[in-house]
A and B are shown apart, each in its own frame.
Chain A
Amino acid sequence: MTAQNMKKIYLYSRFERFWHWTQAILICLLMLTGMEVHGVITFMGFEKAVDLHNTLGISWLILFVFIIFWLLTTGEWKQYIPTSKKLFAVAMYYASGIFKGEAHPVQKSEDAKHNPLQRLVYLGLSAILLPLQMVTGLLYWTYNDWPSYGLDFLSLEVVASIHMGCAFALLAFLIVHIYMTTTGHNITAHIAAMFSGWEEVPEDYKAEDWEVHKK
Chain B
Amino acid sequence: MRFIWKSVQVLITVSFLCTSAFASVETAPGREMARQATKGKELWITADHSKFDALKQPFKSGPEVTKACLTCHTEAGHQFHKTIHWTWLDPRAEKELKVGKGGLVVNNFCINIQSNEPRCTSCHAGYGWKNKDFDFKSQEKIDCLVCHEQTGTYKKFPSGAGNPPPPPGKKFGNKFVKSPDWNFVAQSVGRPTRRNCGTCHFFGGGGDGVKHGDLDSSLLKPGKTLDVHMGMDGQNFDCTRCHTTVRHEIAGRIYSTPAATSRKSLLEDDLGAKIMCESCHSAKPHKSELGMKLNDHTDKVACQSCHIPTFARELPTKMWWDWSKAGQKKDGKPYEVKGEWGKPVYMTKKGDMRWEKNVVPEYYWFNGTIDTITAKTTIDPTKPVRVSMPVGSIVDKHSRIMPFKVHRGMTPYDKVNKNMVIPHLFGKDSAAYWKGYDWTKAVTAGMEYAGLPFSGEVGFVETEYVYPTTHMVAPKNNALACEECHSKQGRLEKLTCFYMPGRDASSIVDAGGWFVVIASAVGVILHALGRLFIKGRKED
Contacts and interface: CB of A to CB of B under 8 A. Distances in A.
B271 interface: no
Interface stretch (B345-353, B398-406, B409-417, B496-504): B496-504
Interface string B444-481: 00000000000000000000000000000000000001
Contact of B290 (A42, A51, A161, A167): A51
B502 A39 contact: yes
A16 B488 CA distance: 41
A99 B528 CA distance: 10
Contact of B487 (A46, A100, A182): A46
Interface in A150-182: 155-157, 160-161, 164-165, 167-169, 171-172, 175-176, 179, 182
Contact of A175 (B486, B503, B524): B524
A45 interface: yes
Contacts of A164: 505-506, 509-510, 513
Contact of A46 (B481, B505, B513, B531): B481
Interface stretch (B176-184, B194-202, B224-232, B514-522): B514-522
Nearest to B505: A38
Q: Interface range on chain B: under 10, 10 to 19, 20 to 34, or 35 or more?
A: 35 or more
A19 interface: no
B481 A45 contact: yes
A171 B520 CA distance: 9
Contacts of A172: 516-517, 519-520
Given A51-B293, A176-B523, A171 B481 contact: no
Nearest to A163: B509
A134 interface: no
B394 to A, nearest CB: 12
A165 B511 CA distance: 10
B289 interface: yes
Given A45-B481, A46-B487, A50-B482, A157 B504 contact: yes
Contact of A99 (B289, B505, B531): B531
Is the contact region of chain A dominated by helix, strand, or loop, or is it mixed? Answer: helix
A110 to B, nearest CB: 28
A159 to B, nearest CB: 9
A186 to B, nearest CB: 12
B35 interface: no
Interface in A39-95: 39, 42, 45-47, 50-51, 54, 94
Contact of A176 (B483, B505, B520): B520
Contacts of B482: 45-47, 50
B528 A169 contact: no
Contact of A168 (B498, B512, B535): B512
Contact of B499 (A37, A39, A157, A175): A157
B538 A45 contact: no
Contacts of B290: 47, 51
A176 B520 CA distance: 7
A169 B519 CA distance: 12
A42 B490 CA distance: 14
Contacts of B538: 101
Interface in A85-120: 94, 98-101
Given A39-B505, A45-B483, A98-B531, A168 B488 contact: no
A148 interface: no
A206 to B, nearest CB: 27
Given A155-B499, A160-B499, A168-B512, A175 B520 contact: yes
A47 B289 CA distance: 12
A198 interface: no
B487 A175 contact: no
B517 A99 contact: no
B527 interface: yes
A165 B296 contact: no
Nearest to A140: B501
B230 to A, nearest CB: 28
B293 A39 contact: no
A39 B488 contact: yes
A168 B514 contact: yes
A115 B292 CA distance: 46
A149 to B, nearest CB: 14
B130 to A, nearest CB: 55
A4 interface: no
A5 interface: no
Contacts of A165: 509, 512-513
A38 B506 CA distance: 11
A45 B480 CA distance: 12
A165 B516 CA distance: 10
B513 A39 contact: no
Contacts of A168: 509, 512-514, 516-517
Contacts of A169: 513, 516
Across chains A and B, which 4 residue pairs bring their CB atoms closest together, nearest first?
A168-B513, A179-B524, A46-B482, A157-B499
Interface of B: 289-290, 293, 296, 299, 481-483, 486-488, 498-499, 501-506, 509-510, 512-514, 516-517, 519-521, 523-524, 527-528, 530-531, 534-535, 538
Given A45-B482, A47-B481, A47-B483, 10 more contacts: A38-B501, A39-B503, A46-B486, A51-B290, A99-B535, A156-B499, A160-B506, A169-B516, A171-B513, A175-B517
27 contacts: A37-B502, A38-B505, A39-B486, A39-B487, A39-B488, A39-B505, A45-B482, A45-B483, A46-B483, A46-B486, A47-B290, A50-B293, A94-B527, A99-B530, A101-B535, A143-B296, A155-B499, A157-B504, A160-B501, A161-B509, A164-B510, A169-B513, A169-B516, A172-B519, A172-B520, A179-B524, A179-B527
